[in-house]
Amino acid sequence: MQINGAQMVIEALIAEGVDTVFGYPGGAIMNVYDEIYKQKDFQHILARHEQAAVHAAEGYAKASGKVGVAMITSGPGFTNAVTGLADAYMDSIPLVVISGQVPMSLIGTDAFQEIDAVGISRSCTKHNYLVTKAADLPRVLKEAFHIAATGRPGPVHVDIPKDVTAEIAEFDYSIELELETYKPHTKGNPRQIKKAMEAIANAKRPLFYLGGGIINANAAYEVRDLVKKTGIPAVETFMARGVLSHDDNLLISMLGMHGSYAANMAMSETDLVIGLGARFDDRVTGKLSEFAKNAGVIHVDIDPASISKLVNADYPIVGDVKNVVTEMLEQSIGIDPKKYAPWRETIEKFEELHPLVYHEDTDRLKPQWVIERVGELLGDDANISTDVGQHQMWTAQFYPFSRPRQFMSSGGLGTMGYGFPAAIGVKAASPQKTSINFTGDGSILMNCQELMTAVEKKLPVINIILNNNFLGMVRQWQTLFYDKRHSETDLSVQPDFVKLAEAFGGIGYRVKTKEEFDIALKDAIDKNIVAFIEVIVERMENVMPMVPAGGSLFNMMLLQKKEK
């Protein structure tokens, strides 16, 4: 089939089963957008900023398990998108981001809207391409989708000069992929798995350490079976929320800088860490020399570069988590859950000593209550996105997650402005679920222009703005470590969020009481249009527990107990 490069892009997307593309047109990508206009096989959602387009593709990918697709133009179109690429790279989100580029003859001449997109994206993508001839497009696009989705997932960037999109060449998408230097190792070594299972059987205080790789591998239900069958307690990383259901009695909680006392103490007291799809991030480990220092370490990960990168693995297993856990299940017959009863009792005492709670001791609503209340009212019927800050940590701590792919947030990069566009992508991927974005009064302004996207495409995302008139997390650090010098974190001067939502064609609410919040949430769901629910919350509330940066997990700052 002889077609031009722009048509090849469309045909490749159709062949890959893409049903949604997020993007923003411009001169260098205009030929492709002309072909988008002519086709009816997938929908295009026009973002109002290229960063938001990529975040929306991330949200879509996280919620659906498919590869997210974003399309942007050259120059500032690409540089706007870099934050989204970096975010997806840090969190292992499968994306294909297609950018236009100036014609081949102008590359290197400082032409209008020229930028070295491939050079810039090299450090924040799993792989990238500059396509110099249309004949290469079928192979490149097929490779891009394959690389993005396999092994450790990640974003792949394809940069296409404008003249290449106009060039005629043969399109054959049935070609076999030949990637000699890219062959992810998906099967775990049987001997290593056997040794790991022997270590588990011999341990007295083993602990499952569950990471976001479990969700990427669609392995949550196999992990649930393994945890239940062995009776071994488990902690989740921030990115792994929903691997186990909130009501699983073997789930302790999230661990790390803002993990629960019981989870952090369990990790400090364990004699065997069973790490599944986790990368031992600094926000989890705290002071490395003190992290689980009396424990052996089993580390299962598909990325060999992650194993022993920060914490030495005594039992390293390179492989797809789903495959490895399936093997572990088959070898778990001899493990008696009763053996770990004393260990589970110890953890229960940790939970009783310092439970994960908050005090309702002020006139203003507590942000934790708002999150818990949404969980009570919507629970499994909602998909939850967040921006970055205090509200993000409170959501991870207090929302009752019941399933994988229910929680979408920016983990590794910590990107303010992620939540709203991601929630749009989530709604596009999962229209039957209510899409909630918990955000702050700082984060929401970073991509609030996406109100227009949500209105135009009838994507009724509900943004719950926990307004404390502060950049809350930075303010918390300033309060605790900078002698209350709140430098440039006071956000008392703000827009009218209700009018802002209404100006775009959405709906807005401003609530101060529990009763008002319940009414607003119900009305927003019933109205079925994009909404801002601004909740006036306690200004000086801190996220607790907290492990100071570089501190040991067992040395936490804790919520002061309320006097009787």
According to DSSP, the residues that pair with 470 across neighbouring strands are 490
List the chain pLDDT tens, one digit each, 564 residues. Answer: 899 999 999 999 999 999 999 999 999 999 999 999 999 999 999 999 999 999 999 999 999 999 999 999 999 999 999 999 999 999 999 999 999 999 999 999 999 999 999 999 999 999 999 999 999 999 999 999 999 999 999 999 999 999 999 999 999 999 999 999 999 999 999 999 999 999 999 999 999 999 999 999 999 999 999 999 999 999 999 999 999 999 999 999 999 999 999 999 999 999 999 999 999 999 999 999 999 999 999 999 999 999 999 999 999 999 999 999 999 999 999 899 999 999 999 999 999 999 999 999 888 999 999 999 999 999 999 999 999 999 999 999 999 999 999 999 999 999 999 999 999 999 999 999 999 999 999 999 999 999 999 999 999 999 999 999 999 999 999 999 999 999 999 999 999 999 999 999 999 999 999 999 999 999 999 999 999 999 999 999 999 999 999 999 999 999 987 765
Annotation marks residue 113 as catalytic: yes
Catalytic residue among 473, 544, 546, 556: 473
Same-fold call for 2-170 versus 190-353: yes
Nearest to 552 by CA among 265, 339, 243: 265
| Residue range 2-170 in CATH 3.40.630.30 | no
Annotation marks residue 544 as catalytic: no
Note the pTM of the prediction, 2 decimals: 0.97
What stretch of H or E contains 436? strand 434-440
Nearest to 409 by CA among 95, 90, 122: 90
3-state secondary structure 124-141: HCCEEEECCCHHHHHHHH
| Residue range 367-536 in CATH 1.10.150.170 | no
Cα–Cα distance, 137 to 160 (Å, whole number): 9
Catalytic residue among 113, 331, 449, 494: 113
Catalytic residue among 16, 35, 50, 541: 50
Catalytic residue among 62, 162, 322, 366: 162
Cα–Cα distance, 338 to 344 (Å, whole number): 10
Angle at 55 between CA 213 and CA 141, to 5 degrees: 75
| 493-500 own/partner pairs: CB under 8 Å, 24+ apart | 494/441, 494/467, 494/469, 495/445, 497/441, 497/444, 497/465, 497/467, 497/532, 497/534, 498/532, 498/534, 500/448, 500/451, 500/532
CATH number of 190-353: 3.40.50.1220
Annotation marks residue 198 as catalytic: no
Catalytic residue among 39, 112, 481, 562: 112
pLDDT value at residue 362: 86
Structural contact between residues 201 and 175, judged by C-beta atoms closer than 8 angstroms: no
- Amino acid at site 447: N
What stretch of H or E contains 299? strand 296-301
- Amino acid at site 371: I
Using the Cα atoms of residue 435, residue 248, residue 310 and residue 127 in order, give the sign of their dihedral: negative
Domain ranges, ordered by start, for the chain: 2-170, 190-353, 367-536
* Tokens 């953890």 belong to residue: 347
Annotation marks residue 390 as catalytic: no
Nearest to 230 by CA among 329, 344, 297, 346: 329
Annotation marks residue 112 as catalytic: yes
* Tokens 């290593």 belong to residue: 192
